Amino acid sequence: MSTNLPNEIIFEILSRLPAKSLLQFRCVSKLWCNEISEFDFIKMHLNQSIERDNCNLFLASTPNVRLDNLLRMPLFLHIETNLYCIQGNVFTEAIKFQDISSFGFPLLKLVGSCQGLVCLIGRKELYFLNPSTREYKMVQFDKVFDIGSSNAYGFSYDLVNDDYLFVQIVYKNEDKANEFGDYDIEINTYSISGHSGFMTGDIPRILNRKDPAVFLNGGLHWITDTVSRKIIALDIGEKVVREFLRPMEVDLNDHISVGVLGGQLCMMNNFYDSDVKIWIMKNYGVSDSWSKLYVMGNTVLDARESLHKSRPLCFARNGEILFKCDTKLVLYDPKRKMSTNLEIHGISDWGDIDNIVKHDDSLVGLKSGTFLVPIPDVEEGGANIKERFDSTQVEVHADQ
């Protein structure tokens, strides 16, 4: 009896494996190399990865330097943004990468993650990066990006046009709005292909604009800074803005943050010394489907100080939840109602961590030929770490 499996079944099985393994399996045969590099296989693998919802993390640390001071610094002074990657559900070790900018003072800001890529923003350039393959692409624009407290922003994927975009919402004449109740909005988009554009829309004021939007189901999600405290979702592909009501038990005066947990839209709320509640929207877009998932003591996330800076990242092993809490990673055990502040080996500048995002393992290619270079840990087995990750530096192309 033949034991050969049909190729369709073989590649269905392969699509469930990590990207690192698949990059190595390209060497098995020409057939495997071609199939693993195919657009359809890359999409199938990405969908499987999103469904598994593993805790792959990407972090960026930026020295706390004011922009006005930065502009007066000598051009030869190079201030690096450190990049780190934590793969899988074992939060013990991070891989540090060399600075990817060739400019004098990049101070890159990590603005989000979606569909297998992460995005960092510089002064006039965007960096699109796949942490799994370590490939990145720099795209430069003529305009200087302004992501100060007055503008909202996020990293999005256009489901309609199969495109990755940095999105910025610019509020114009907002100072006059306090007196006359009227202001203009411009939505600027910057594509991975180098194209830029803009659109207008009726978007209410957004709360906590310093924090990037949350991407889910083709939309960028924010909490509105209005009396209703709704969630809005901006879908660039369909050019629509959707609004979702908050859970009925969430008070207008509560501290609120929005995130994604287990592939579902979620919200956290508390009021000063009260407990922190976590809600999930079981049916996306249906405001009546909010369900209370957990209730935690306010000391778990230092909620009195930084709830708006806290987001759940993913479910970890044994039902635990991993949170981003300002610059910290907190692992919460709902069964024991206990939390642990994680200390990851390989990260020496926790105090400068600017953002932490969860990313989906993927083979999405960027056709750039440029790759992140890991920095060996010279204190403990650095050569082994470098050797372990060098094998994944294989160029993979996908027709975007």
| 321-346 pLDDT per residue, tens | 998 887 788 889 988 888 888 888 88
CA-nearest of 58, 49, 116 to 85 is: 58
Average pLDDT over residues 70-76: 47
- List the domain boundaries for the chain: 7-390
pLDDT band at residue 149 under the 50/70/90 scheme: low
Q: Is pLDDT larger for residue 265 or for residue 298?
A: 265
Q: Is the pLDDT of residue 59 over 80?
A: yes
Residue 156: strand pairing partners: 165
CA-nearest of 142, 124, 309 to 212 is: 309
Average per-residue pLDDT for the chain: 81
CA-nearest of 128, 148, 146 to 138 is: 128
Q: What is the pLDDT of residue 308?
A: 66
Answer yes or no: are the C-beta atoms of 118 and 109 closer than 8 Å: no
* CATH number assigned to the domain covering 7-390: 2.120.10.80
In the structure encoding, which two tokens stand for residue 187, read together? 């939505």
Q: Is the pLDDT of residue 290 over 50?
A: yes
Q: What is the pLDDT of residue 209?
A: 79
Least confident of 132-141, 150-159, 177-186: 177-186
> Half-sphere exposure of 2 toward its Cβ, with a 13 Å CA cutoff?
3
Q: What is the pLDDT of residue 79?
A: 63
- Which residue type is seen at 215? F
Residue percentage of the chain with pLDDT more than 90: 37
Would you tell me the crossing angle of helices 39-52 and 7-14 to the nearest 10 degrees?
Answer: 50
Answer yes or no: are the C-beta atoms of 55 and 91 closer than 8 Å: yes
Q: Is pLDDT larger for residue 378 or for residue 192?
A: 192
- Which residue type is seen at 193? S
The structure's pTM equals: 0.85
Quote the CA–CA distance of 256 and 250 in Å, as a whole number. 8
Three-class DSSP category at 398: coil
Q: What are phi and psi of 46, to 5 degrees?
A: -60, -45
